[in-house]
Amino acid sequence: MSLKKKFIETRDNYVINQVKKAPIPKFKSFEIRRYRLIFSGRVQNVGFRLEAGEMAKRLGLTGFCENLENGSVLVEVQGQFDKIKFFVAFMRSLKRIVVKKVEKKRLPLDFTEVGFQSDKEERTFG
């Protein structure tokens, strides 16, 4: 195994363990929303999509994320509004990821979506 692959594997394991250990609050809102979020800053090549996907799955959110050519990451996320707010705050709080800006646009709900994918190409529908 190459040194680069070993580094990526180690980073990915670290990310997954960090998400598993993150304390999750109790949520009160049951209002379901969908947002398109664009995270800008140091968000590519740092495990952002993996971390976003793991946290979204843990929170029971649906959607996807993908890298954009300009260095940002696009996330479409759907679920309980309080959980989405927590998700954004969690992603902004990470030390190795530097989120300088989050653009947010509310979207219509997508009732065909199942789960959360770390790449748009992997999306699955019901």
Q: What is 34-71 written as a DSSP string? A: EEEEEEEEE-SSSSHHHHHHHHHHHHT-EEEEEE-TTS
Question: 123 vs 18, which has greater pLDDT?
Answer: 18
- In sequence order, the 6+-apart residues with CB closer than 8 A to the CB of 96 are 46, 47
Percent over 90 (pLDDT), the chain: 60
pTM of structure: 0.83
Give the model confidence (pLDDT) of 87-109 as tens digits. 999 999 988 889 999 999 999 99
Residue 84 confidence (pLDDT) above 70: yes
Q: H-helix or E-strand containing 125?
A: strand 124-125
Compute the distance between CA of residue 41 and CA of residue 44 in angstroms, rounded to an integer.
Answer: 8
Give the catalytic positions in this structure: 49, 67
